[in-house]
Structure 1
Amino acid sequence: MTPHNEAKKGDIAKVVLMPGDPLRAKFIAETFLENAVCFNTVRGMLGYTGLYNGKRVSVMGSGMGMPSMGIYSYELYHCYDVEAIIRIGTAGGIADGVELRDLVLAMGACTDSNFAHQYRLPGTFAPTASFELLEKAVQTAREKNLRYRVGNVVTSDIFYGDCENETAEWKKMGVLAVEMETAALYMTAARAGKQALSITTVSDLPLKGESTSSEERQKTFTQMMEVALAVASEAVDGHDK
């Protein structure tokens, strides 16, 4: 057990889906997993393990922001022997052509955070997804005929920013969407020598003032859940039956 997770070794599968919202983790467990068992309730950060298409998969909330994602993903990789984490969350679409409810598969993650400072690198680290997981997600999205984009996101430490033009500046660099966890997940995975992928659904368009409701974000963004579960169930074959 850790200060943030009461699970015992073996309670958590080798592949974990991580929504930011713990209630989304509960929804996924109740909707998609068979024989789901709750392994964590500490701080209300719910986690479950069950079966998806006969494969053992876990789902657990990460909370909001890079520090929270950094804590939970670190513990899963280092304390519970998790091999792959797939973030499933929401993002604000900023690139032209990105629409509400589109899927964004994060090939890379820019950031305004100082999170990478801890690694004492002699330069700037570029956090990227595990290609194996990304390739499977793209394949699944195509097979399901879903609207999706692949490219850079920007992981921001700031939700209520004091600079009005920051999002527009990232758009100039071809960034697809803004969110708050992916870069921390990708860096933590890289340092641990593990796999990671971030799949988000566009919940709002901050440059256009369009958005979805909190209930929609919690319960109706099932396309990214289904894609993530398809990726997870295939990844399980290489790690944990």
Structure 2
Amino acid sequence: MDTVYHLDLNSEKIRGAKIALLPGDPFRSQIIAETISGIYGTGNKKLAWKREFCTYLAEIGGIPLLVTSTGIGGPSASIAIDELAQLGIGTFIRVGTTGAIQERVDIGDVIITSGSVRLDGASTHYAPIEYPAVAHHEVLNALVEGAKKTKTRYHVGITASSDTFYPGEERYDSFTKYVLRKFQGATKEWQKLHVLNYEMESSTVLTLTATMGLRGGCITGVVNRGGTGKITKESLKAGEEHAIRVAIAATECLV
């Protein structure tokens, strides 16, 4: 039985799972798995941890699912998605954190991405830039239902998905304090175009799943205001917990 190289998983280990929740942080894989166990009274098991890819097996309603971390950014996310697809996973939900750029979006809210501005490079290795990065309608609807069920304040809309945290999100708190001209003023432009937030993986997740004929979606918890706000322990906790709670509730609609 072949084991995929980066994730250190095979079809026997994943026990027929067809859905994967994709946090970025490998430590968040355990948090999500334990949260699922706490809600449903089921067990969970760590299957593998290699590099940034940490995978747990959990269960909802007797149905197995995976929680696999992707690390930061599109390149590592593309590896996780491709190898999970090779093992038979058909539904992918990114569960992450984000910086809001619209005033109406508050810390602790969740953003359900309907489509992404492709500011990454990894997705262009799977489809030309003209190809849209859009969420699968069934996953999008499930995330909305999950937010309603958990009474979590949510926003549905467009996300700007960048390869870099500092210049790509027009942050001036970097080492050089300089942003290339192509990104100067970008945040204001995205605001005018009704983009809700910045993050770093959704364009890769949504492009790859769409091109592969699979189901993909993305939910992120707001932990700061992109380009300006600091991320505090309190804001990180609120954003993480709300995104996880909604993602788990949404998964009930998809199993």
Which among 65, 74, 79 is matched to residue 66 of structure 1? 74
The one-letter code sitting in structure 1 at the alignment partner of 2:46 is C
State the match for 1:239 in structure 2.
none
Contact persistence 2:52–2:71 (CA under 8 A): no
Residues 121-177 of structure 1 show CA distances to partners (whole Å, capped at 9, x for unaligned) of: 4x6111100111111211221233211000000100121212442222211211000
Alignment match of 1:94 (pick from 101, 116, 119): 101
The answer to whether the aligner puts 1:2 opposite 2:4 as a matched pair is: yes
Q: What pairs up with 1:39-188 in 2 under 5 angstroms?
A: 39-77=47-85, 79-119=86-126, 121=128, 124-161=130-167, 162-163=179-180, 164-188=184-208
SS at match of 1:125: coil
> For the residues of structure 2 that align with 1:80 and 1:39, how far apart are their CA atoms?
14
Q: Which runs of 5+ in 2 are unaligned?
A: 168-178
Is 1:221 paired with 2:240? yes
Partner Cα separation in structure 1 for residue 161 and residue 98 of structure 2 = 10
Match in the other structure for 2:171: none
Change (3 A) 1:119 1:72: closer
- 2:224 aligned residue (185, 204, 214): 204
Query: Deviations for 1:105-125, whole angstroms, at most 9, x for unmatched residues?
Result: 00000122233433464x611
C-alpha distance 219-141 of structure 1, shift in aligned 2 (>3 A): closer
State the partner residue of 1:35.
43
| Alignment CA distance shift 1:46-1:216 (3 Å) | farther
**SS of equivalent to 1:68:** helix
TM-score, normalised relative to structure 1: 0.89
Write the letter of the residue equivalent to 1:206: G
Taking the aligned partners of 1:56 and 1:199, their CA distance within structure 2 comes to 21
Contact 2:197-2:226 at 8 Å conserved across structures: no
Native 8 Å contact 1:65 1:180 kept in 2: yes
User: Residues 120 and 204 of structure 2 are in contact (CA less than 8 Å); yes or no, is this contact kept in structure 1?
Assistant: no
After TM superposition, the score normalised by the length of structure 2 is: 0.84
- Counterpart of 2:209 in structure 1 is 189
Superposition RMSD on alpha carbons, in Å? 2.0
Aligned length: 233
SS where residue 71 of structure 1 aligns? Answer: helix
State the one-letter code of the partner of 1:222: E
Alpha-carbon offset, residue 71 of structure 1: 0.9
Task: Report the alpha carbon displacement of residue 194 of structure 1 after superposing the two structures with TM.
Answer: 0.4
Change over 3 Å in CA distance of 1:202–1:120 after alignment to 2: closer
Shift in Å, 1:220: 6.7
Report how far residue 51 of structure 1 moved: 1.4
- Comparing 60-69 with 219-228, greater Cα deviation is found at 219-228
User: How far apart, in 2, do the equivalents of 1:169 and 1:17 lie?
Assistant: 31
Residue 201 and residue 168 in structure 1: after superposition, are their counterparts in 2 closer, same or farther (change >3 A)?
A: same
In structure 2, what is the Cα distance between the partners aligned to 1:43 and 1:114?
Answer: 21
**Which secondary structure state, in structure 2, belongs to the residue aligned with residue 176 of structure 1?**
strand
Q: Which residue of 1 aligns with 2:175?
A: none
Amino acid at match of 1:227: V
Contact 1:201 1:221 in 2 (8 A): yes
Residue 35 of structure 1 aligns to a residue whose secondary structure is coil
> Which structure is richer in relative contact order (CA contacts within 8 A, separation 6 or more)?
1
> 1:230 maps to which residue?
249
Check 1:149–1:130 CA distance in 2 against 1; reply closer, same or farther (3 A cut).
same
1:35: how far off? 1.9
